[in-house]
Structure 1
């Protein structure tokens, strides 16, 4: 598959101001996004997500490095050619950015008016877009008369008006309730499938990544710390920040009353492990086989099975009353069963039944 977007050694630095030091928002980043894929970028606030997405259409110009979209080096273009190139890159925003004095139709028509199309040409393009996003009956309404989800659908239609090859989504669902978020993500997936458009989606929510994306880059302090398929990130996360984001999203974090008592050193009680299963292993009796093979009484404190991109994955938090060689043998057995094992710490024996 050919690339649609390529960032080569891209950095963005903001100079020092009188009341603050210089800031490096993105550092020496290499990134390739394939043509037609839905690519997610996730990280906590301040990780550099919004800077990255604004570098793709040069709303932020990189301090160094090269940004290429559909084979064109945007950083080498003059102002006129950059404006033309940006017509191939649509963008939707967290807070919709609609013009309150214009109807739904006229909000979607705005980029076409700016491009100099006739009213007949505009109508021939806007009406099918309103049908695509499910707002054909809202053409004459104003933004104040719409729900948040409807406003975002207008924003999506407007972003598609110039028939872009790339759609950038900057926290496009973070102002919406969960049910509306799911419907907007489903719409974006439908648009990707019907139009073959490349979508780059910035978010701080792993549930958004899980629902729609093919691959995901995890940002931390201005650097890409993990880049893989969504299935791989959910079932075999490598970076600590990825594991932390996953725990918050999947509910597989250690219960607070146990977390407060965890020690990093054996204290004569139980070892706490987080186990991650994927594919057919998510539903196999691995814990039962461990008990039979090692003679270990395992306490399950928390667990669930979920689905990401049609593949099952599961997580368990378990307590094992072993340490040292016996613990090492148990971990080797679990890993031989294709389980990803993450030691979390040690619990006093008195807390074993508390989970």
Structure 2
């Protein structure tokens, strides 16, 4: 039996078990349902879960075994039959234990709690798996390439025939430079927009403007990258870079930074708006009652109260900017250089990670393994930013009743 058929049959048995469980619970209570320990709904859910969960476990294990090659394709029918058999057995057990004193609610809550623990365990295990894979492959890289040349080298020139120079400094400089320009664009515009929406705009204006701003968050980054490549880059080159003699390329740090800043505006604006709205209205009323103007109230009362949250939002936006790839690929180029000229092409860590793992390369060579060292470096940077943001928010957060 195919696994898809077994899944549908198990779902049908679970639905039937729910109806049968409720009916038997009503029947066991006689004319007075108050004699039941749990409501009939919980009895039905306990039967449905007993029928569905064992079948799902068998099907998931069977699918994993087929993916790893432990089971052949022909064995999938056997797995489907086993899953269906487990569903039938679970249905029978669930129906047989229904009586007026059965604590069905406790059983259902234990099953749900176990499922929640399982989901949280998957998230933790996935994080550990990502970290360990980066650490082990980075260790392989540093066993073949000097760590001092990696962390302090000023050139990134991978050559798969040997004699490569794999210094991270130009990539780190490009990442921080582009992210800095992006934050210069996103933070003022996003913060001022949040202040206007939360403090000055009326309900009608807010209901129209806020969704329009948040539309930017739903645009794929590849679209932003094309916008940088086709529109923003040529415009900056023709209007500023060439007349001032700063460069002749449409791919530049400024191009990627401006477009990335536009992408981050709804991120900063939405978080700041929520944080400002969390400041109690009583603080505003008190300041206005003492004679402060609305602008003075915002500067001296609202923003100081919301400042820790706003700083945390900015640091989280910085983490988002550091990890961006597609906008940099299309807007900033792929040149690993150290320069202060914002109209010169540069690249970031994420772009080089993609380029080093693209193509038919020797996976054991340092030119390929350097991608894992770059990934671990980027992971540590973003982790530190997130930790700093959490510390600031927790230390300076104001608690209001």
TM-score by length of 2: 0.20
Structure (1/2) with the larger helix percentage: 2
TM-score by length of 1: 0.22
